[in-house]
Amino acid sequence: MRLVMLGAPGVGKGTQGRRLAAVCGCALISTGEILREAAARGTALGLEARRQMDSGRLVDDDVMVGLVRERTSEPDAQEGFVLDGFPRTVPQAEALDAMLAARGQQIDVVLSITVNEDELIRRLQGRRECPVCKRAYNPEGAPARDGRHCDEHPDAELRPRKDDSEESVRQRFAEFQAKTAPLVAYYAVGGRLRAVAGTGTVDEVFETLQREAGCGSRTAQTN
């Protein structure tokens, strides 16, 4: 199973993608996470990407396509993967289709999640992440058990993400509207697109996504 999670900042691509990958038994590939890790390590890619990420702008297509080409070739991705945050532009989607076709593979399902912008801003303002496993929490809808530390890493204090500042969030929404929203029309051709309302608790939305994706029957334990 090869899945794409599509949607604006804060719709739950990471949260729900993590769960779907667990029940589908496939790799979670989060391009934002790969870039943030590269930036934290100070690699050439990370340093190049950091400025664009912090300001809320997309990183160049060529860089992203190369990164996904490599990551999807790794052993854990051979049985399938959930793509969180890729593709983000029509050229990225075209490159992905071409790269998979050359391997005799294809994207099976694209889950397009929608949530209204007021709710998304509330979610991003409230989001706190575990510095170890990167799981996202929120006082509304996805609270940590003690409110401050990761449920799975009790020593790890939750923290906001750097690009959740007001200005960066505004830029990320603008980038989404201009460059990523056209992917809905791109994937509508060929019947791969499933539109899902992302409003509700994490469990409620997950149930709908899992049904639409048609993978795994047991409920994932973590979000």
Residues that bind ligand G5P (CB under 6 A): 7, 9-16, 31-32, 35, 52-53, 56-59, 64, 85-86, 88, 92, 123, 126-127, 136-138, 141-142, 172, 198, 201-202, 205
Q: How far apart are CA 52 and CA 64, in angstroms?
A: 13
The catalytic position among 18, 50, 88, 123 is: 88
Nearer to ligand G5P, 80 or 141 (CB): 141
Q: Which residues bind Mg ion (CB under 5 A)?
A: 14
Could you tell me the two tokens for 154? 């009790």
At its nearest, how many Å lie between Mg ion and the CB of residue 103? 26
Q: Is 13 labeled as catalytic in the residue annotation?
A: yes
Amino acid identity of residue 24, one-letter, is C
Q: Is 194 labeled as catalytic in the residue annotation?
A: no
At its nearest, how many Å lie between ligand G5P and the CB of residue 6? 10
Nearer to ligand G5P, 26 or 104 (CB): 26
Closest CA to 100 of 115, 87, 113: 87
Q: Which does 52 bind (CB under 5 to 8 A by kind): ligand G5P, Mg ion, none?
A: ligand G5P
The catalytic position among 123, 172, 192, 194 is: 172
Amino acid identity of residue 107, one-letter, is I
Q: Is 172 labeled as catalytic in the residue annotation?
A: yes
Nearer to Mg ion, 14 or 56 (CB): 14
**Alpha-helix runs per DSSP H in the chain:** 13-24, 31-41, 44-55, 61-71, 90-102, 117-126, 166-175, 183-188, 202-213
Q: How far apart are CA 1 and CA 97, in angstroms?
A: 15
Nearer to ligand G5P, 124 or 215 (CB): 124
Nearer to Mg ion, 14 or 80 (CB): 14
Q: Which does 72 bind (CB under 5 to 8 A by kind): ligand G5P, Mg ion, none?
A: none
At its nearest, how many Å lie between ligand G5P and the CB of residue 135? 8
Residues 212, 213, 216, 219, CA torsion sign: negative
Residue with nearest beta carbon to ligand G5P: 32
For helices 61-71 and 31-41, the axis angle rounded to 10 degrees is: 100
At its nearest, how many Å lie between ligand G5P and the CB of residue 153? 16
Q: How far apart are CA 37 and CA 31, in angstroms?
A: 10
Amino acid identity of residue 174, one-letter, is A
Q: Is 71 labeled as catalytic in the residue annotation?
A: no
Q: How far apart are CA 131 and CA 149, in angstroms?
A: 10
Catalytic residues: 13, 88, 127, 161, 172
